[in-house]
Amino acid sequence: MSDNSSGKEITVPPIADELGRVFADGGFELHLVGGPVRDAVLRRSVSDLDFTTDARPEATEAILRAHCSTVWTTGADFGTIGGLFRGEQVEVTTFRADAYDRVSRNPIVRYGDNLVDDLERRDFTVNAMAVSVPGHEFTDPFGGLADIARQTIRTPASPESSFADDPLRMLRAARFAAQLGFGIDPQTLDAMRRMAPELGRITAERIRDEFVKLLTAPDPVVGLRILVDTGLAEHFLPELPALRMEIDEHAQHKDVYEHSLQVLRNAIALEQDGPDLLLRLAALLHDIGKPETKDVAEGGGVTFHHHDVAGARLARRRMRELKFPKADVQAVSLLISLHLRFYGYGDAGWTDSAVRRYVTDAEAQLDRLHLLVRSDCTTRNRRKAERLRRDYDAFEDRIARIRAEEDLRAVRPDLDGNAIMELLGLPPGPQVGRAWAYLKELRLERGPMSREEAESQLRAWAAAEGLAPSPDAG
């Protein structure tokens, strides 16, 4: 179905028309397709420019090389050639009519000869619309425009066929629901529930990338609920549905699943510069150690002792399995391991030494830790919530005061390894490391020391340890 009037109402970036004229001069069709068309219909900004054409890849490459400052062919095996056209990144893909082996998900690449067949193989109707350039003929054979009006996610072909071709599309459905605020068509949702085990065919890297897009969407909670309700989460993040623990008849603990989703929402509300993936991951996963550590104490109370430690371990394992970068794994597991440290500050009266340790242990994640701890307060008791807020305000003020006096971002011993070896007459080795560790602990306890104080303390420690300096040392 073509609807020229709808196409005229869509604002096409001028650069798309320019490229369309270049292809037309070569005797080929060019259509803006997929996300850019959907976003134009929704009056959202159009950034990535994706096109489809009847030109074969070698012809596309020749055209782009003649008109682009840079051309890349990394997707050539799948019919996609990219380039920098008038300073904008564009990707042009030959019409496709692929078949899938439905075992590995790898497509058997076959080029098509018409636009409609190409659109039918796309994931959802809202992404299966096209606008010709420069003519602006609007093509919508599967009702994408109507689904946008209904705010519905639906597959062009049957959902069973679509998801069998590429099971990752089930995660993409949840992601688009989170990004666009759309619901999922009941037939499509039912197929997701039945076909969730098919996700096992997808590599960890592809699952991770799609999950990251979902988690950084405007409202990831919408998508996360879909992942849990359809059973998809069980196949790559089982710790999330495991949070739906049975609450005992006396309601001795809050609903950990709902609490975790609320903490995520709280964290998002505190973000300053756009989506913070590491903060969102830590907020979502901060309590995943609770199911493993749940215990019923005498009197019927429920405890989760050391769930922070267990949660950090579980998050580390799961993120490694999903092939997250090592630095991200370390950051999120550190945040989870420290998220309970603050509680009790207002009652216990922390020493400056305890504050130094908090800052030092948090390392580069201190600012995220502040946001995570604040987000973790979901109590409906306004008096308790206000007390926790005041306590953390005072805590951050105290950190700022101590920071003004000391360099807490790099709390290091007052003597380096070379000075220790010279002072104690030691060769390089584990004894120097022990001396360095002692000085660091001393620095955390007492704050900065003069060199004379540090040397005096080190000599006393060395003597007690049987490491007295040699006669010609220092």
Strands 302-303, 295-296: parallel, antiparallel or unpaired by DSSP? antiparallel
Domain total in the chain: 4
Q: What is the pLDDT of residue 468?
A: 53
We report the CATH number of the domain holding residue 67 as 3.30.460.10
Both 10 and 136 in one domain: the answer is yes
Q: What is the pLDDT of residue 471?
A: 45
Whole-angstrom CA distances from 414 to 299, 410, 432, 450 are 51, 11, 14, 7
Both 232 and 243 in one domain: the answer is no
Q: pLDDT class for 472, splitting at 50, 70, 90?
A: very low
pLDDT of 41 above 80: yes
229-235 CB contacts, 8 Å cutoff, 24+ apart: 229/193, 230/170, 230/174, 230/189, 230/192, 230/193, 230/196, 231/193, 231/196, 232/170, 232/171, 232/174, 232/192, 232/196, 232/199, 234/196, 235/196, 235/197, 235/199, 235/200
Both 67 and 14 in one domain: the answer is yes
Both 382 and 420 in one domain: the answer is no
Determine the average pLDDT of the residues in 420-428. 85
Q: What is the pLDDT of residues 62-101, one digit of tens each?
A: 999 999 999 999 999 889 999 999 999 999 999 987 666 5
Q: Which strands, in side-by-side order, build the sheet including 88-94?
A: 70-72, 80-85, 88-94, 49-53, 30-33, 130-132, 138-139
Is 197 contained in some domain? yes
Contact 124, 145 (CB under 8 A): no
Is 189 contained in some domain? yes
Q: What is the pLDDT of residues 129-140, one digit of tens each?
A: 999 999 999 999
SS3 readout for the chain: CECHHHHHHCCCCHHHHHHHHHHHHCCCCEEEECHHHHHHHCCCCCCCEEEEECCCHHHHHHHHHHHCCEEECCCHHHCEEEEEECCEEEEEEECECCEECCCCCCEECCECCCHHHHHHCCCCHHHCCEEECCCCCEECCCCHHHHHHHCEECCCCCHHHHHHHCCHHHHHHHHHHHHHCCEECHHHHHHHHHHHHHHHHCCHHHHHHHHHHHHCCCCHHHHHHHHHHHCCHHHCCCCCHHHCCCCCCCCCCCCHHHHHHHHHHHHHHHCCCCCCHHHHHHHHHCCCCHHHHCEECCCCCEECCCHHHHHHHHHHHHHHHCCCCHHHHHHHHHHHHHCCCCCCHHHHCCCHHHHHHHHHHHHHHHHHHHHHHHHCCCCCCHHHHHHHHHHHHHHHHHHHHHHHHCCHHHCCCCCCHHHHHHHHCCCCCHHHHHHHHHHHHHHHHHCCCCHHHHHHHHHHHHHHCCCCCCCCCC
Q: pLDDT class for 248, splitting at 50, 70, 90?
A: very low
Both 330 and 429 in one domain: the answer is no
pLDDT of 207 above 90: yes
Both 262 and 170 in one domain: the answer is no
- What is the chain's mean pLDDT, rounded? 88
Both 228 and 245 in one domain: the answer is no
Both 131 and 12 in one domain: the answer is yes
Amino acid identity of residue 9, one-letter, is E
Is 474 contained in some domain? no
308 vs 391: which has the higher pLDDT: 308
Q: What is the pLDDT of residue 315?
A: 97
Is 294 contained in some domain? yes
Is 471 contained in some domain? no
Is 132 contained in some domain? yes
Query: Above pLDDT 70, what percent of the chain?
Result: 89
From 236, 259, 288, give the residue that closes a domain. 236
Tokens of 283: 């907020």
From 116, 147, 178, give the residue that closes a domain. 147
Q: What is the pLDDT of residues 336-358, one digit of tens each?
A: 999 998 876 666 678 888 888 88
Is 395 contained in some domain? yes
pLDDT of 407 above 70: no
Least confident window among 402-411, 416-425, 437-446: 402-411
214 vs 462: which has the higher pLDDT: 214
Both 113 and 213 in one domain: the answer is no
From 409, 424, 446, give the residue that closes a domain. 409
We report the CATH number of the domain holding residue 321 as 1.10.3210
We report the CATH number of the domain holding residue 180 as 1.10.110.30
Both 351 and 460 in one domain: the answer is no
Both 139 and 84 in one domain: the answer is yes
Is 352 contained in some domain? yes
Both 291 and 205 in one domain: the answer is no
189: closest CA among 228, 222, 148, 230?
Answer: 230
259-263 CB contacts, 8 Å cutoff, 24+ apart: 259/287, 259/378, 260/284, 260/285, 260/286, 260/287, 260/288, 261/221, 261/224, 261/225, 262/378, 263/287, 263/372, 263/375, 263/376, 263/378
Domain ranges, residue 130: 4-147
